[in-house]
């Protein structure tokens, strides 16, 4: 079927949120205003177009500037660098609302905020902060984060990308894979080993000789966001582009903590959208002379979904409190990311069943969310790896090294 023949959904987005345990009482007026602003943004700029973008694997590059104007990039960084000076709970709520629209859109925002802006702020020089953060915050520039390699996913310490000190510059060789934003990124934060096997962060700008960003095609997931590789063929990187503040694997892992925190909230957004769609549909769809919402098996599905969404909300809210106090541990973040993404994927599958054949089509958001969440289950630490991180924390014995 040609894309122009496709009957994209023109259904208006009436999403209102799910709050069974009155958790809104735990949010400040400001946090609620942040959530509503991003929800309104999604209804205006994402919902009317997302099914078409996903069907046509189109990354809407203009959304980057719009998100920048809204202020979702680096919202928790200080205002002097173009950040928003907001708390982590607000950041979580933003990620929830954007992912309610689409996980791919949330991925674009997460990468820019947590994986590019955060490390430049945390590990960069004052010159690097002033040079890059305002451009990334406004959405004038798009950034990406290069850690994963073709042969090193769950084990990033084994990375093969390396740089040599050539006196007046570094010479970088290697490649990265599964990099969100890479084909359109103006800036890449690349993690590579020096001659002493120590991992450092390097800032690469598009246009540097020997640096290319081939796109990954034929994805069944995150189809409205762009993914690609980063290839370094004798790239001369100016010495002032090294992030001096932190080296070793701990540096990129700190960035991942922040991004995984956003995912723990984001997944709730995808789940709420599916639940909202399935609930609405089940009250309208009539079989055997009554709405399918009247059947016990539909009610079981809906009840279990609401229970799981509510549990995930409590987990995310408490994690936000810990983040704001600077007390959240990597293991606590692992638990929330793992639980909430798996919950959202399960909710999406159950909702798809409630919609029957209609759930298969691009007229509804559910199967798009479901396919997106398959990526989210794997990226930023797989579902299994987070289990092993928890296992190590509980027993004190690492099972993967």
Partner 1 sequence: MNILVCITHVPDTTSRIQFTDNNTKFDKSGVQFIIGPYDDYALARAVELRDQSGGKLTVLNVGEAETEPTLRKALAIGADEAVRINADPVDSLFVARQIAHHAKEGAYDLILMGRESIDFNGGMVHGMVGELLGMPSISPVMKLDIEGDKAVLSREIEGGKEFLEVNLPFIAGCQEPIAEWKIPNMRGIMSARTKPLNVIEPKEAEKAAEVKAYALPPAKGEVKLIEKENVEELVRLLNTEAKVL
Q: Nearest 10 degrees: CA dihedral of 366, 370, 371, 377?
A: 160
C-alpha–C-alpha distance, residues 38 and 41, integer Å: 5
Helices (H) and strands (E) in the chain, counts: 12, 9
Those residues with Cβ within 8 angstroms of residue 381's Cβ, 6 or more apart along the chain or in another chain: 154, 256, 260, 334, 337, 338, 389
Contact call for residue 279 and partner 1 (CB under 8 A): no
C-alpha–C-alpha distance, residues 190 and 172, integer Å: 10
Contact call for residue 139 and partner 1 (CB under 8 A): no
Please give the DSSP secondary-structure letter assigned to residue 243. Answer: -
The pair of structure tokens assigned to 374 is 């398959």
Nearer to partner 1, 28 or 160 (CB): 28
Contact call for residue 327 and partner 1 (CB under 8 A): no
Is residue 209 part of the annotated active site? The answer reads: no
Pairing of strands 143-146, 162-165: unpaired
φ, ψ of residue 143 to 5 degrees: the values are -115, 160
Q: How far is the CB of 112 from partner 1 (least distance, A)?
A: 14
C-alpha–C-alpha distance, residues 179 and 177, integer Å: 5
Contact call for residue 262 and partner 1 (CB under 8 A): no
Q: How far is the CB of 214 from partner 1 (least distance, A)?
A: 34
Nearer to partner 1, 75 or 108 (CB): 75
Window of 64-72, 195-203, 232-240, 280-288 that interacts with partner 1 by CB under 8 A: 64-72
The pair of structure tokens assigned to 290 is 């009554």
> In the chain, what's the furthest Cα-to-Cα distance?
80
Other CB atoms within 10 Å distance of the CB of residue 253: 14
C-alpha–C-alpha distance, residues 305 and 302, integer Å: 5
Nearer to partner 1, 140 or 165 (CB): 140
Window of 63-71, 167-175, 186-194, 266-274 that interacts with partner 1 by CB under 8 A: 63-71
Window of 78-86, 146-154, 319-327, 375-383 that interacts with partner 1 by CB under 8 A: 78-86
Among 27, 50, 64, 70, binds partner 1 (CB under 8 A): 70
Contact call for residue 84 and partner 1 (CB under 8 A): yes
Contact call for residue 79 and partner 1 (CB under 8 A): yes
Contact call for residue 353 and partner 1 (CB under 8 A): no
Contact call for residue 20 and partner 1 (CB under 8 A): no
Contact 69, 138 (CB under 8 A): yes
Bridge partner list, 385 = none
Contact call for residue 345 and partner 1 (CB under 8 A): no
Window of 72-80, 127-135, 232-240, 311-319 that interacts with partner 1 by CB under 8 A: 72-80
Residues in 21-60 that interact with partner 1 by CB under 8 A: 29-30, 32-34, 36-37, 40-41, 44
Contact call for residue 286 and partner 1 (CB under 8 A): no
Contact 233, 217 (CB under 8 A): no
Residue 265: in which H helix or E strand, if any? helix 250-284
Contact call for residue 14 and partner 1 (CB under 8 A): yes
Among 5, 16, 126, 197, binds partner 1 (CB under 8 A): 16
Question: Applying CB under 8 A, which residues contact partner 1?
Answer: 14, 16, 29-30, 32-34, 36-37, 40-41, 44, 69-72, 75, 79, 84-86, 90
Active site residues: 380
């Amino acid at each position: 079927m040609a894309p122009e023949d496709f009957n994209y959904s023109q259904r208006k987005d009436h999403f209102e949120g799910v709050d069974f345990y009155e958790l809104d009482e735990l949010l400040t007026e400001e946090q609620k205003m942040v959530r509503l602003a991003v929800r309104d943004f999604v209804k205006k700029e994402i919902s009317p177009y997302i099914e078409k973008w996903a069907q046509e694997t189109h990354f809407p590059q203009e959304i980057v500037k719009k998100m920048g104007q809204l202020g979702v990039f680096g919202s928790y960084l200080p205002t002097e660098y173009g950040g928003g000076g907001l708390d982590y709970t607000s950041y979580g709520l933003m990620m929830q609302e954007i992912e309610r629209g689409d996980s791919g859109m949330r991925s674009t925002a997460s990468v820019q905020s947590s994986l590019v802006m955060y490390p430049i702020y945390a590990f960069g020089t004052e010159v690097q902060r002033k040079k890059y953060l305002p451009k990334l915050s406004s959405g004038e520039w798009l950034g990406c984060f290069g850690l994963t390699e073709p042969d090193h996913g769950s084990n990033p310490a084994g990375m093969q990308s390396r740089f040599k000190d050539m006196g007046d510059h570094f010479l970088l060789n290697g490649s990265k894979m599964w990099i969100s934003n890479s084909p359109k990124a103006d800036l890449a934060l690349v993690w590579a080993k020096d001659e002493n096997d120590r991992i450092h962060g390097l800032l690469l700008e598009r246009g540097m000789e020997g640096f290319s960003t081939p796109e990954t095609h034929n994805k069944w997931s995150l189809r409205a966001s762009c993914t690609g590789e980063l290839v370094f063929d004798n790239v001369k990187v100016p010495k002032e582009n090294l992030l001096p503040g932190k080296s070793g694997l701990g540096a990129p892992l700190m960035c991942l903590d922040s991004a995984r925190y956003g995912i723990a909230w984001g997944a709730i957004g995808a789940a709420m959208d599916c639940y909202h769609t399935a609930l609405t549909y089940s009250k309208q769809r009539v079989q055997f002379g009554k709405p399918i919402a009247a059947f016990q098996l539909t009610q079981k599905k809906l009840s279990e979904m609401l229970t799981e969404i509510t549990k995930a909300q409590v987990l995310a809210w408490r994690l936000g409190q810990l983040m704001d106090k600077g007390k959240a541990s990597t293991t606590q973040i692992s638990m929330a990311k793992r639980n909430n993404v798996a919950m959202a994927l399960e909710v999406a599958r159950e909702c798809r069943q409630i919609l029957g054949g209609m759930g298969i089509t691009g007229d509804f958001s559910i199967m798009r969310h479901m396919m997106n969440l398959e990526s989210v289950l794997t990226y930023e630490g797989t579902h299994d790896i987070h289990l092993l991180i928890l296992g190590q924390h509980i027993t004190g014995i690492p099972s993967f090294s």
